[in-house]
Amino acid sequence: MAIKYPTPKKTTEKIINRANLGMTLESDIEATNQYYLDKQIAVIYKKPTPVQVVTVSYPARNKAKIVEAYYKTPSTTDFNGVYRGYYVDFDAKETNSRTSIPLKNIPDHQIHHLKRVVDAGGIGFMIIYFASYNQYFYLPFDVLYDHFQDSLHGGRKSIPYETIKKEGYPITFGYNPRIDYLSILDQYVIPGLKQASACK
Amino acid sequence: MAIKYPTPKKTTEKIINRANLGMTLESDIEATNQYYLDKQIAVIYKKPTPVQVVTVSYPARNKAKIVEAYYKTPSTTDFNGVYRGYYVDFDAKETNSRTSIPLKNIPDHQIHHLKRVVDAGGIGFMIIYFASYNQYFYLPFDVLYDHFQDSLHGGRKSIPYETIKKEGYPITFGYNPRIDYLSILDQYVIPGLKQASACK
């Protein structure tokens, strides 16, 4: 009779990245937000994609079936919510470029929305994913806005990778939470806000 | 020849209410939010109703037509945003009752969501409209939550009009903004928050 040995536990650390998990940037952020929600850390949701409903049919009692509808352009970013009493608002973009993220990847309405948010005292930013390097960055809104303004006055139409490395903050990809962007707020953003205004 | 006298300006104040304007509570709040946005007072949006898209057809180039979709139950309230750096989150309900608002008008998931929001340092509330009196109230989340908890332990399943009058704050209906709920935050809510914690 063959003796059945217990399977040894793996001790080698597995390198976790998106390729392993087969996920998209958006679903990784949604999983991160779910983690924050479950652990009672923050309440941050993705907004539903707005849909213009034209025709609804009622094939069964109490069951509305939309049979004609169209996607609408949202006026805001995808994600917002509350963390430690702060209003948080952001979107996430990825690029395959090794050198920069093109500004055309970021719709104007998102920039205008984030400008209004920051002016109203909220925390606005972008999460930028450089797929070639498998690197995530927290890009503060003011850095994005400076480049956007420059681009309107003849400046370059993209933000260089090197600038993002220098003026943004790297976010380590992990198992849970996957993209821990709130740790950047704790370390770099909220202390600065407190210094700027002792009390609101 | 007849002399044309200038038409005298009306000096009687017109009583403005929803009946005059033929609007719904939701559209009045959306108009209010648009006013706040235009005047750069606050950035508060209604979230789109979530839709589960099943089938999309492409009758014309670049034009996606949704041909099968269903409404999903949202996990949150309808409205959120930022005002003076504070995260604001609420929903609006109306009733024809002269005596109370039934708690069944407020879905459990909205109460749980607002609880999480308040625990994360946000400002959560309800706007309650008593159609019979044409009166609007700001109902702080803690008052709602106390009644919700009571109802789970055998207490009454509604919040009396008299309680809302006493523990909520009346919001005057106006022309623009129509339902100026942020004035309640200025007067009653934010000063209390500042006292509770000098700085976040």
**B120/A84 Cβ within 8 A:** yes
Is residue B3 included in any domain, yes or no? no
A45 is in which domain, residue-wise? 20-195
Give ipTM to 2 decimals: 0.86
- DSSP structural state of residue B104: G
Is residue B50 included in any domain, yes or no? yes
Measure the CA dihedral A36/B37/B137/B97, to 10°. -90
Token readout for B11 is 């000096």
Cα(B99)–Cα(B82) distance, rounded to whole angstroms? 33
Among candidate residues A151, A62, A66, the one with its CA nearest the CA of residue A111: A151
Cβ distance B115 to B145 under 8 Å? Answer: yes
Question: Which of B67, B76, B83 is nearest residue A120 as measured by Cβ atoms?
Answer: B83
Is residue B8 included in any domain, yes or no? no
Cβ distance A128 to A122 under 8 Å? Answer: no
pLDDT, tens digit, 9 for 90 and up, residues B178-193: 999 999 999 999 998 8
Is residue B13 included in any domain, yes or no? no
Token readout for A108 is 């104007």
Contacts of A86 (CB under 8 A, 6+ apart): A122, A123, A185, A190, A193, B85, B87, B121, B200
pLDDT, tens digit, 9 for 90 and up, residues A111-157: 999 999 999 999 999 999 999 999 999 999 999 999 999 999 999 99
**B43/A122 Cβ within 8 A:** yes
pLDDT at residue A61 greater than cutoff 80: no
Measure the CA dihedral B185/B191/B192/B196, to 10°. 130
Cβ distance A81 to A122 under 8 Å? Answer: no
What is the per-residue pLDDT for A55? 94
What is the per-residue pLDDT for A193? 85
Number of folded domains that form chain B: 1
Cβ distance B120 to A85 under 8 Å? Answer: yes
Contacts of B15 (CB under 8 A, 6+ apart): none
Least Cα separation, residue A46 to chain B (angstroms): 10
Say which CATH number the domain at A104 has.
3.40.1350.10
Compute the average pLDDT of residues B131-154: 97
pLDDT at residue B62 greater than cutoff 90: no
pLDDT, tens digit, 9 for 90 and up, residues B12-31: 444 445 444 547 999 999 99
Burial B2-15 (b: 16+ CB within 10 A, else e): eeeeeeeeeeeeee
Phi, then psi, of B16 in degrees rounded to 5: -100, 125
Q: What mean pLDDT is reported for chain B?
A: 89
Least Cα separation, residue B77 to chain A (angstroms): 11
Is residue A5 included in any domain, yes or no? no
Cβ distance B140 to B125 under 8 Å? Answer: yes
Is residue A119 included in any domain, yes or no? yes
- Which helix or strand (DSSP H or E) is residue A77 part of? none
Give the model's confidence band at B167: pLDDT under 50 very low, under 70 low, under 90 confident, else very high.
very high
Is residue A163 included in any domain, yes or no? yes
Do the annotations mark residue A119 as ligand-binding? no
Give the model's confidence band at B61: pLDDT under 50 very low, under 70 low, under 90 confident, else very high.
confident
Q: What mean pLDDT is reported for chain A?
A: 89
